[in-house]
Amino acid sequence: QELQQFVVNESQKARIQSSIHTLTDTCFRKCIPAGAVKKGALDKYEEPCMRNCVDRFLDANLVVLRELERLRQ
Amino acid sequence: QELQQFVVNESQKARIQSSIHTLTDTCFRKCIPAGAVKKGALDKYEEPCMRNCVDRFLDANLVVLRELERLRQ
Amino acid sequence: QELQQFVVNESQKARIQSSIHTLTDTCFRKCIPAGAVKKGALDKYEEPCMRNCVDRFLDANLVVLRELERLRQ
Amino acid sequence: QIQQEAAMQNARMLVEKLNEHCFERCVPKPGSSLSSGEQTCFTTCMEKYMTAWNTVSKQYVARIQQESQKGGLGGGTF
Amino acid sequence: QIQQEAAMQNARMLVEKLNEHCFERCVPKPGSSLSSGEQTCFTTCMEKYMTAWNTVSKQYVARIQQESQKGGLGGGTF
Amino acid sequence: QIQQEAAMQNARMLVEKLNEHCFERCVPKPGSSLSSGEQTCFTTCMEKYMTAWNTVSKQYVARIQQESQKGGLGGGTF
């Protein structure tokens, strides 16, 4: 049973890791202008854009899940 | 042996499911114009475009498989 | 132990195969102009472009790995 | 249980792809909240993506059946 | 050992994505060597991608915790 | 048998990628049948993709061998 819990935890962690990679991929594309990169740090437009991008993505995710919940009933 | 058949069937189903996701992805991109979405239903251009897209993709798939068959001989 | 070596070798081979697919994908996009394809062979611009693309990708890979090494210390 | 796992996996994949496409289209510049316009676009886009997925499923399955009746190449290849 | 494998997998994924994005942006036309401009672009891009990854991780984890305190839908869904 | 499975997996991946690229390029607007122009484009594109895949394989393997002779970082890292 402990083993089962361990497997559940690990696969949840793996899913979180994978979401973080997807989000970084999506938001980098959206927030960092195309073309050559000049500075390693995120500038004052890019940084809040990345954070907003994560939050809006998760908001949108909730919209989908609520809608699916509603359709199932 | 029944188990083996079950595994074969399930992995075939999984492959079909995965093809459906790939096709929806590709054809949505091709048939639904970029930008904000106005209507939930598929309009009279989008619907046949989606269906044709599936069929032409599979036609093209057959072209590839026939060609590979020919090359192997 | 032989089995273990076999598994290591196989998963290394699988990783190489997967890299080759990724590289072909990336470099095809970079080196073969978009739109309809006229000739099956690679022309005198495309062929060196594909080869350079592989080498520069691996150079860049080394830059990343060296930098990560440096950061870890 | 394997079948249930597969259904879950399938639903997860659908939601993932749907999010990807609709976020791309409906939220070009993420702001400090989801505007009502973005929210509407998202619900509509979601509906459209699911309709598209259904259309593709039907067309695909119909085609497989058609090909497997003809036999030959098409049978086991898709 | 499973955890170590997961960490490796995670690092590998980061390096892969980073290479993909930065190669796309910094090497538009691959030549016979990596120019010093391309190399600088690459190192900078790498730094930026890792910073972005950190920002996303923090924001995402904070949000999960926030949602799970509120309970309800957010709990097990992300 | 594991090796055979790997070869199958490899071929499947090649066909998948090839379809993706060539469908994208050769069938911009899917009509009620595959036109002969689209069909020719597809066969040509397929040939080109496989040639490109061969070129990449050779170049990649040559590079790995070269790096592993030099030893050091390059050895186990790709």
Reply yes or no on whether the pLDDT at E29 is more than 70: yes
The confidence score (pLDDT) of residue A65 equals: 87
Contact F34 B53 (CB under 8 A): no
Query: Which run of H or of E encompasses D18?
Result: helix D2-26
Contact residues, chain C to chain E, C-beta under 8 Å? 22, 26-27, 30-31, 49, 52-53, 55-57, 59-61, 63-65, 67-68
How high is the pLDDT of residue D68?
Answer: 85
Q: Residue A60 is encoded by which pair of tokens?
A: 């949108």
Domains of chain B and CATH, by start: 2-72 (1.10.287.810)
The interface predicted TM-score of the complex, written ipTM, equals 0.86
CATH of the domain at D47: 1.10.287.810
What was the pLDDT predicted at F76? 46
Q: Residue E23: its pLDDT value, please?
A: 96
* Residues of E (39-68) whose Cβ lies below 8 Å from C: 39, 42-43, 46
As a whole number, mean pLDDT of residues D61-66 equals 92
Q: What is the pLDDT of residues F51-76, one digit of tens each?
A: 999 999 999 999 999 888 886 544 44
The number of CA neighbours under 13 Å toward the Cβ of F20 is 19
The string of pLDDT tens digits covering residues E9-21 is 888 899 999 999 9
Place of tokens 């999984």: B14
**Interchain contact, C32 vs F26, CB within 8 Å:** no
Say how many C-beta atoms besides its own lie within 10 A of residue B45's C-beta: 11
CATH code for the domain of F16: 1.10.287
pLDDT band at A12 (very low <50, low <70, confident <90, very high): confident
Q: Where are the alpha helices (DSSP H) in chain A?
A: 2-31, 46-72
Per-residue model confidence (pLDDT) at position D72: 54
- Kindly report, residue by residue over A27-56, the tens digit of the pLDDT: 999 999 888 888 999 999 999 999 999 999
Q: What is the DSSP secondary-structure string of D50-64?
A: HHHHHHHHHHHHHHH
**Tokens standing for E43?**
């190192």
- C-alpha to C-alpha distance for D38 and D28, rounded to whole angstroms: 9
Q: C35: burial class by Cβ within 10 Å (0-12, 13-18, 19+)?
A: exposed
F2, F14, F51 ranked by CB distance to C10: nearest: F2
Instruction: For C61-72, write each residue's pLDDT tens digit.
Output: 998 888 888 888
How far is it, in rounded angstroms, from Cα A18 to Cα A36? 27
Torsional sign, CA B12, B17, B21, B23: positive
Confidence label for E4 from pLDDT (cuts 50, 70 and 90): confident
Residue matched to tokens 């046949």: B48
Choose among D67, F77, B38: nearest CA to E15: F77
CA-CA distance, E39 to E23, in Å (whole number)? Answer: 10
Query: In the prediction, which pLDDT does E74 show?
Result: 44
pLDDT at E44: 95
- pLDDT of residue C73 exceeding 60: yes
Q: How far apart are CA C46 and CA C43, in angstroms?
A: 5
pLDDT at A59: 94
- Interface partners of D (3+ CB pairs, < 8 Å)? A, B
* C-alpha–C-alpha distance, residues D57 and D52, integer Å: 9
Between CA D27 and CA D18 the distance in angstroms is: 13
* d(C-alpha D42, C-alpha D36), whole Å: 10
How many domains would you assign to chain D? 1
Q: What is the pLDDT of residue F75?
A: 43
